[in-house]
Amino acid sequence: MTVLLAFAALALAGCAADAQSDAERDPVTTEIGGTATSILNAGVMAEIGEDENASVKFLFDPLYDDHFGSLEQLTPELIEAIISGAPPYDSVDAVFVSHAHGDHFSASMLTRMLAEQPDLVLIAPAQAVERMREDSNWDAGFAARSRSIALENGEAHEAFDLAGATIEAFRSPHNGWPERHSNVHNITFRVSAPAGDRIVGRVMHLGDADPFAEHYAALEEFLQARRSGLAMVPFWFYREDNLEALIGETLNASEAVAMHVPARVPQDLRDGERAYFSGVGEVLEFTATSE
């Protein structure tokens, strides 16, 4: 298991100008909001909140059918551990799906996961839930534990509570917009859980979001309302010229980690200073932010 120490070092090394604007935006906290642990591809396990009793455990895009020749492939052992809820994937409160593409989603594996974990909740775009309903292993009883998110681009979902956490979501265009995948609903989830006195752990998972800043203009009120400790972004965000502003201002996040990294890690990620996930079990701590 690898711990990404670069994150803490980078946070401390943040330049004075950034520290100033961050302080205005949000009181500085050194409290830990939780941890994000890589699975593979866009899969991440987030444990958010206080260690004792108040913490939640969520999985984002953990199971998928396709690797398209360039992404890591899930091993049978890893698939079985996630589906059955074997440690470290035990006591998962909810599984989130960003969108119904084969490298983020598996209708057959997720229906099996719902069958094997009777308390598990699924939160996914309506397009993904519809695909699962067509699966031969779908059980009518899963409907009560499945939350379909149906949004237009630039639209945010009303916040709701789950296992003591607050769940928010918005839809923005899939990467490649407008030529590619414009009909695929890509959902960003923003989830928070209490991490102490008036502070929370809060993370965002952006699925296959397109980084074009203009997509986020309609979501400004949603994004500026709450600062996230960590934004989990697809690796191509790191290639944007305005990366600092995109993470710190547009997405309003203290730090970022890149996911969906190809098996052969691109040189620019290796050479860059920002954190990225490649491989199973890399752990990144993120700081808490105000409620």
By the criterion CB under 5 A, which residues form the site for Zn ion? Answer: 101, 208
Q: How far apart are CA 118 and CA 76, in angstroms?
A: 22
Q: How far apart are CA 211 and CA 239, in angstroms?
A: 9
Cβ-proximal residue to Zn ion, closest one? 101
Please identify, using beta-carbon distances, which residue of 198 and 239 lies nearer to Zn ion.
239
**Shortest distance in whole angstroms from residue 277 CB to Zn ion:** 17
Please identify, using beta-carbon distances, which residue of 57 and 185 lies nearer to Zn ion.
185
Please identify, using beta-carbon distances, which residue of 175 and 278 lies nearer to Zn ion.
175
**Shortest distance in whole angstroms from residue 127 CB to Zn ion:** 11
Please identify, using beta-carbon distances, which residue of 200 and 231 lies nearer to Zn ion.
231
**Shortest distance in whole angstroms from residue 32 CB to Zn ion:** 31
**Shortest distance in whole angstroms from residue 234 CB to Zn ion:** 9
**Shortest distance in whole angstroms from residue 205 CB to Zn ion:** 13
**Shortest distance in whole angstroms from residue 71 CB to Zn ion:** 11
Dihedrals φ, ψ of 240, to 5°? -80, 140
Which residues touch 62 (CB under 8 Å, ≥6 apart)? Answer: 39, 43, 44, 45, 82, 89, 95
Q: Which residue has tokens 């779908």?
A: 138
**Shortest distance in whole angstroms from residue 12 CB to Zn ion:** 35
| Of 242, 283, 235, the residue nearest 259 (C-alpha) | 235
Please identify, using beta-carbon distances, which residue of 154 and 177 lies nearer to Zn ion.
177
Please identify, using beta-carbon distances, which residue of 101 and 112 lies nearer to Zn ion.
101
DSSP state of 145: G
Please identify, using beta-carbon distances, which residue of 88 and 266 lies nearer to Zn ion.
266
